[in-house]
Amino acid sequence: DAKTTQPTSMDCAEGRAANLPCNHSTISGNEYVYWYRQIHSQGPQYIIHGLKNNETNEMASLIITEDRKSSTLILPHATLRDTAVYYCIVRVGIIIQGAQKLVFGQGTRLTINP
C-alpha cells in the first residue's frame, strides 16, 4: 500500500487559497490519489481524485507532480465552513476481486480563520 504523509495542521485566512500538500513517494503507476475531508464528527466527504493530470471540480483543484510523488489540494477561496480534517488517500484496490477499501491516515487539520 502506498503511504501518504501530510502536515498535522495548517491555518489559512478566510477568502485566501488553502494549499494542502501530500507526499506519496511510493505510489504505483495505476494508483489514484483521492482527497476526502471530515468536518467535525460528520461522515467523510469526497472532494476530488486524480491519476496523473491536474483535476478541478466545483469544490477544489488537485495538482499532481509529474513524478506523481506528491500532490496539492487547493481550495481556491476558503471559507469558515472549510475548517475540517483533510485526508489524502492512495486508493487500495483488489482489482481481480473487484473490491476496495479506504485507508485513512491522520490527515491535516485545516483551520480557516476569519
Residue with smaller CB distance to another protein, 80 or 103:
103
For another protein, which residue of 7, 21, 55, 105 counts as binding (CB under 8 A)? 105
Residue number with CB closer to another protein (17 or 103)? 103
Size of the site for another protein (CB under 8 A): 26
How far is residue 71's CA from residue 64's CA, in Å, rounded to a whole number? 4
Using CB under 8 A, which residues numbered 32 to 91 contact another protein?
Answer: 32, 34, 38, 41-46, 49, 87, 91
At closest approach, how far in Å is the CB of 58 from another protein?
15
Amino acid at 32: Y
Write b or e for each residue in 31-57: b if 16 or more Cβ atoms lie within 10 A of its Cβ, otherwise e. bebbbbbbeeeeebeebbebeeeebee
29 sits near another protein (criterion: CB under 8 A): no
Separation of alpha carbons 40 and 9, rounded Å: 14
